[in-house]
Every structure is written in structure tokens, then in C-alpha cells.
Amino acid sequence: MAFDIEMIKAVYARFPERIAAARKAVGRPLTLTEKILYSHLSEGEVSQAFERGKSYVDFQPDRVAMQDATAQMALLQFMQAGRDRVAVPSTVHCDHLIQAEVGAVKDLDKAKDKNREVYDFLASVSNKYGIGFWKPGAGIIHQVVLENYAFPGGMMIGTDSHTPNAGGLGMIAIGVGGADACDVMAGLPWELKFPKLIGVKLTGKMSGWTSAKDVILKVAGILTVKGGTGAVVEYFGEGARSLSATGKGTICNMGAEIGATTSIFGYDEKSAAYLEGTGRADIATLANGIAEHLTGDSEVYTEPENYFDQVIEINLSELEPHVNGPFTPDLAWPISKFAAAVKENGWPAKLDVGLIGSCTNSSYEDISRAASLAQQAVDKKLTAKSEYTITPGSEQVRYTVDRDGFLDTFGKMGGVVLANACGPCIGQWARHGADKQEKNSIITSFNRNFAKRADGNPNTHAFVASPEIVTALAIAGDLTFNPLTDTLLNEDGQSVKLDEPKGLELPTKGFAVEDAGYLAPAEDGSVVDVIVDPKSDRLQLLESFPAWEGADLKGLKLLIKAKGKCTTDHISMAGPWLRYRGHLDNISNNMLIGAVNSFNDKTNSVKNQLTGEYGEVPATQRHYKQMGIGTVVVGDENYGEGSSREHAAMEPRFLGVRAILVKSFARIHETNLKKQGMLALTFDDPFDYDKVLEDDSIDIIGLDSFAPGKSLQVVLHHADGSSDTIKVNHTYNEGQIGWFKAGSALNLIKAGI
């Protein structure tokens, strides 16, 4: 479990020289983001200035973190790389496969039994290859990383889209697919397009009901779900320095909902306090020694418009609590306007469930502030009108808040404590009655609220807010209740008002835990066997994808033309499908079943051009594959937004889809497609999307001269004998074109190229 202090010393030792070289190359002062990025380049590249949003650059991350759902495929790929041990410190965290149903103890016991073969595989492969293993129940990956591994100025990649949580401690932490993690664990550099920079200046100081969650809810409303695409969001100003480290983590965590590559805060007194409070005072001492390098240059923050591509300013003293949703995390409502929005839009005002916790809001500060409201409910004789659940972020947090009496307080209010795991936030929620698909409302302190995400019910109106607002509304049982202004009737018929929540950033008695849930790997992994049952329906060893044939792709069929929002949830659903994350063949049966077919407005219903009949997407694609016919998937804007799940790229590749053609891609998904040897293409003219017809056969022309910056042609052969030739673009560089030609990036690793 111990962090690698020698590694951190080495990172800090190179900071001064590399930052000086980078400042000279750029010819101006540097943002914090630029400092950390340049410090993680090879020495030969530090002297170069890179064009934001255009230059692909190889970075050298310090760490890799993987959650259990994505780690299965990442490690199955790593096993093919031919290494005896991972090249950088790496960890696996078992947090995604635990389904919430009745409560922490029973749910965890059930998960351990149900997922035993997956946990055994992950434990054994971790043990063999030098990877730290966090057992089921140890906590959610991002909270555990923040408590144990994140450090100012470091760089980490993680196989989860909310990896940026570590930005709360000044770390460049980026969500990636399993193939990227595999590359870094195999000792290869990690490639990223040098990001654009968005600066968020925070002034003033929060008070009362407002929390750090409200900052990102406000930012999401400003930038929307794709406004941060291709950019790092850097927060600065007096307001930033006033926030707790875990509050900053909340903001960075949910930055994934605006499409940002990552988000980050500079190192300050709050960072040092958190490091010391979590047993890492020696890191704080090291960071204090180079503190000037762990924040942006002063000139940058004095005149930010000269150094950032976009600047947003938010006065925390004036910021209202927000509620975002439903169905999208960027529909932002100040609490003063939310009740009217509920009424005007006809959303169910009755609140069925309030859920707090998750990787976004499960710190000691979050729990203590929510508990202060629960205690008020008990003291003021208020009974919670809604169901109420609490998801601690780690065993360390759970143990500490239990010791300090907060869990008992929640129990008196009627709250149910769930396991230290993702649970309802990712659809791992056995919500009773959800199958009836009744119209209802829930509110959470989670990060995402796409339709069907939490409970599978498309009619569940999910809203996102801070733990404090969630708790207050759960007590009221009414979305139109404004805790800042409104009163409630208690058991005695008296009108009572909730006081402002109170809490502590860190426990006064310090953190405590009996068993954090960590298993260190074997010193000699050569004697360890990886456990995979060849008859398993949950785990399947991988076979290499075939290389490109060396010619243009002709006679492809249109599989589906997806309409509107098509997230990785639509492409590869979570929930019950998580059990197949280690079995590519089985999980491919969920491919694109959530995408809406633009020709009939139905999900999981596409026309099979060979039979003329409509059928499920995976079955139709398997028929094409059986007949040796490749296909194309066409999509809309920001295709593949949401979770980093690599399966959304691997499943189409495995079943024989050759290209994804869309108006625009979400960053992680586009990279995942490239890694798997897929063609990720965009319409040069977005209106060409309308030219794609249901019975089209498709040719992709120009692959014999496939080159960076050079467009390709797509010929749409229509059923009536006519055709349209359209221009399509791509963002492949030479290395990525090599992945395509080889069949996948992993094929090149295995070949030693």
C-alpha cells in the first residue's frame, strides 16, 4: 500500500530543469498544467513547444490505476505483452462488481461469492506481475487513490473516466482505455494530443449551503457535456485555495462530465493538510520544497486571458447551490429556480430516493456535513420522506465516520449504508420495482445521470446535487423544497427550518482503519499462476485481431445509424453486463443495444440487409461476420461520451465492424477505437450524416495512402443504384496508422515494434 517515495523524489528532482527548459521553449510563463506535462516528457522533447489541440506527444506517466470492470480486459491484454512485471507502479481496485440491494454486509458477501472467479483472476494476475491489489470492500478506486497514491505534480492514467479525481491533489490524472494502460505497464510511453487549456478563476469564499460540488455543477452548465473536450481545466485564485483537497477532488472528478481531458488545482496549504492527515507528511515536505513549481507562474494568474484558451470566473461568495438534470449532468439549475423548473417541466416532484456518496462525494467532509443535517432531522422530529442511502468511498472513510458516530446518525434518520463501492452510480443497483418503468424522481451526489444509468428505468428522472442538498431534499421528500428558505412540518405539527450544514474537512481524531483491504504482490511472480478457467463464461483469454488486408475497404454494410446521444453506456451497457467484462465474446451481445436507430427510432432493432428482416444489433452483426461482410456504424455528435470502458471499442472490432463514422468523437472513445485497429472517422460536412440511408453499402477509399492530415473518401451506394461520395476526416498520426495496419496497438507491442 505504501506510496513510492523514491519515485516521487525522482519526479521532483527533474522539475526545476525541465520546467526551465519548457519555459524557454514556449517563450512565456507557464500554467501548472504545462509544467506537469513538460516534466513528464522525455528530455529530448522538453525543449520543444507543442501546439495545443494539435500536437500528439508521448508522455511518461508515474502510475496506473485500474478498476475491476476494466482491469479484466486491460490485464488480459497485458498478459500478451511478454513482460514479467509492470514497468510502473500499478494497482487494481475491486469496486464496480458489487451490486447494491439491501446493505453493505450482505451485498458485499453476495458479491464475493458471485464474482469469486473474477476476483481470483485479478488477485492472481496482480500477484504475478507486481500489481497492488485492493480487495472488494476496500473502497472506490478514486477515493482510495486520493488517500494513498495521488501526489502534487505527478501524472497518472487510470482505466476509468473519473480518474481526474486525483487532480484535487495537483496531479495530472487522466482516464484511458485498457489498451493505454497496457502500453504504459509494458514500459511504452503514453500518447496524448497536447491539450488546450481552460482556466477557471475562483474568487470569494463559499459559506452556508454551498459546497465544492456546486462549482462543477455551475461549470457544467456553462461548458455543457462537450465544452471541455480536448482541454485541461485548471482552477486558480483565492477561491480555489479556500477549498479542501477533497472538495477539489469532487470538482476534478466531475470534470469528466464536460468532456475535459482532466482538471487540476495547484498545491497549497489545503493540499499539505490532506497529505499530512492521510499519513503522507513526507510527501508534503517534499512538495513544500518545490512549491513554486507546483502552481502556475504568477503572471499566468494575473492575466489569465493571455495564457488560457478560455477563461471562466466564478465568485464563490455569490454561488448558489445547484441541482443538475434530469437525464444529463449539464442541465444546471440554481436552487432558487429549481422548484419552478420542476413544476414547469412536469417532472415528478415527489422524491423517491436520495443517494449520497460515490467516488465524487464520499469524503469525511461530505459525510460529516450530510450527517449534520441528519442529526437535525432527528433533533427536530423530522422523518425522512424518501429512501436514503449512503455509499462511503473507502474503508478508511467508512471506519472513521462510523467511529465518529455519523453512520449511527444516518441510521436514526432511516438511512441505509451501502458497501464501499460504486453501486447505484454505475447501474449496480437492484432497485426494487424499477422494472415497472414508472415515472419517478431520484437525486444523488453522483456525477452522471443519463437515462437508465442508475436503475435501468428510462423514466427515472435522476438529478445531481451536493450531499447536503440531497440529504435535505430526502428529508422533505419533495423536489420543490428549498432548504435555504422553506420550512417543514415535524411530527408535532410544528414548522421547522433546517440550519446550514456543518462539517469538518478532516477528522479531529485522525483517520483510522483496521483493514484497509490492500494485498501487496509477490516479490517473485514467476512462481504465481494466473487463475482462468477455460470453461468460464466470465473470463476468456484473448486472441489477436487480424491485421489490415492492405487494400481499401469495399462492400461494407451499414449496421446502424445512431440518432442523437450515443454514450459508452449506449454502446456497451453496464449493470448486469458487468459480469462479462472479462469475456469479450459474451459481452459483445450488448453491443449498441442502447443506441437509437435513426430509421425507426427504436433501440436494438436494425435491418439485416442480407435478409431484409429487423433484428437485434449484435445478432445482425454476427450474421454479417459469419458471411464475411464488414460493417460501418454511423453516429452523431460527441459519440462515445461517458465512461472510459474499452469494451465499447473492442466489441465492434471483435464482431467485425470496420469503421465508426460520426460527426464528432469523445476523446477517450476515439483513442480506444484507434488502439483496437478500428477506423475512427468524422464527416467533413456534418450534414453528410443525412445522406446515409438504411440499405447503403459503403466503400472506404484512400487507405493505400493513409497518412496524417490526409482525408479519406466514403462512397455510399444506395439501394436505388445512385451513390454519394463524401469526404471524411481523421486524427491518426503515423504511430496510430501503424496500429490500424497491424490490427491493433497490442499487435505491435507483441511484435516488439
Alpha carbon distance 727, 684 (integer Å) = 6
Alpha carbon distance 38, 657 (integer Å) = 37
Grid cell of 67 as nine digits: 478498476
Lowest-confidence pick of 104-118, 129-143, 633-647: 633-647
**Residue 217 near residue 258, CB atoms below 8 Å:** no
pLDDT of residue 668: 82
pLDDT tens digits for 397-413? 999 999 999 999 999 99
Query: Which residue is associated with the grid cell 452483426?
Result: 621
Chain-centroid distance of CA 470 in Å reads 22
Lowest-confidence pick of 68-72, 315-319, 361-365: 68-72
Query: Residue 359 carries which side chain, given as an amino acid letter?
Result: C
- Name, in order, each residue with C-beta under 8 angstroms of 263's C-beta and a sequence gap of 6 or more: 164, 167, 232, 233, 234, 235, 251, 252, 255
pLDDT of residue 12: 97
The whole-number average pLDDT for the span 108-137 is: 97
Query: Which residue is associated with the grid cell 523524489?
Result: 9
Alpha carbon distance 599, 136 (integer Å) = 43
pLDDT of residue 290: 97
For 290, counting Cβ atoms within 10 Å of its Cβ (0-12 exposed, 13-18 middle, 19+ buried), the class is middle
Query: Which residue is associated with the grid cell 414508472?
Result: 438
Q: Is the peptide bond before 326 cis (omega within 30 degrees of 0)?
A: yes
pLDDT of residue 79: 92
**Residue 167 near residue 216, CB atoms below 8 Å:** no
Question: In 213-321, which ranges are E strands?
Answer: 231-236, 262-265, 310-315
**End-to-end Cα, the chain, rounded Å:** 34
**Residue 97 near residue 112, CB atoms below 8 Å:** no
Is the confidence at residue 446, as pLDDT, over 90? yes
Is the confidence at residue 313, as pLDDT, over 80? yes
Q: What is the mean pLDDT of the chain?
A: 96
pLDDT tens digits for 637-652? 999 998 778 899 999 9
The whole-number average pLDDT for the span 366-391 is: 97
pLDDT of residue 750: 81
In CATH terms, are 322-494 and 553-751 the same topology?
Answer: no
Alpha carbon distance 101, 428 (integer Å) = 9
Alpha carbon distance 370, 468 (integer Å) = 5
Q: Considering the chain, what percentage of its residues have pLDDT values greater than 90?
A: 91
Q: How does residue 574 score in pLDDT terms, banded at 50, 70 and 90? A: confident
In three-state secondary structure terms, 488 is strand
Element (H, E) at 116: helix 116-129
pLDDT tens digits for 265-295? 999 999 999 999 999 999 999 999 999 999 9
Is the confidence at residue 736, as pLDDT, over 70? yes
Alpha carbon distance 65, 89 (integer Å) = 9
C-alpha radius of gyration, the chain, whole number: 25
Element (H, E) at 460: strand 460-464
pLDDT tens digits for 174-231? 999 888 899 899 998 998 999 999 999 999 999 999 999 999 999 999 999 889 999 9
Q: Is the dihedral of CA 18, 19, 22, 24 positive or negative?
A: negative
Closest of 41, 314, 1, 269 to residue 172, by C-alpha: 41
How far are the Cα atoms of 336, 489, 694, 723 from residue 720, in angstroms, in the given order? 56, 69, 12, 9
- Name, in order, each residue with C-beta under 8 angstroms of 563's C-beta and a sequence gap of 6 or more: 595, 596, 597, 598, 601, 636
For the structural domain made of 553-751, what CATH number should be given?
3.20.19.10
Is the confidence at residue 133, as pLDDT, over 60? yes
Element (H, E) at 747: helix 745-751
pLDDT of residue 410: 97
Positions marked catalytic: 95-96, 160, 448, 643, 645
Is the confidence at residue 2, as pLDDT, over 90? no
Alpha carbon distance 634, 18 (integer Å) = 44
For the structural domain made of 322-494, what CATH number should be given?
3.30.499.10
User: How many residues make up the chain in this entry?
Assistant: 753
- Domain 5-315: top CATH class: alpha beta
Entry pTM: 0.86
The whole-number average pLDDT for the span 475-485 is: 98
pLDDT of residue 304: 98
**Residue 159 near residue 644, CB atoms below 8 Å:** yes
pLDDT of residue 753: 56
pLDDT of residue 468: 98
In three-state secondary structure terms, 53 is coil
pLDDT tens digits for 675-708? 999 999 999 999 999 999 999 999 999 999 999 9
Closest of 692, 670, 649 to residue 74, by C-alpha: 649
Is the confidence at residue 1, as pLDDT, over 70? no
How far are the Cα atoms of 122, 157, 159, 396, 452 from residue 90, in angstroms, in the given order? 13, 10, 11, 20, 33
Alpha carbon distance 646, 649 (integer Å) = 5
In three-state secondary structure terms, 440 is strand
pLDDT of residue 345: 98
Q: List 56's β-bridge partners, or say none.
A: 193
The whole-number average pLDDT for the span 353-365 is: 97
Alpha carbon distance 220, 254 (integer Å) = 9
What residue segments make up the domains of the chain, in order of their start? 5-315, 322-494, 553-751
Is the confidence at residue 3, as pLDDT, over 80? no
Grid cell of 463 as nine digits: 438529478
The whole-number average pLDDT for the span 663-669 is: 91
Query: Which residue is associated with the grid cell 496510430?
Result: 736
The whole-number average pLDDT for the span 362-391 is: 97
Alpha carbon distance 499, 605 (integer Å) = 52
pLDDT tens digits for 542-551? 889 999 999 9
Closest of 343, 406, 396, 348 to residue 372, by C-alpha: 406
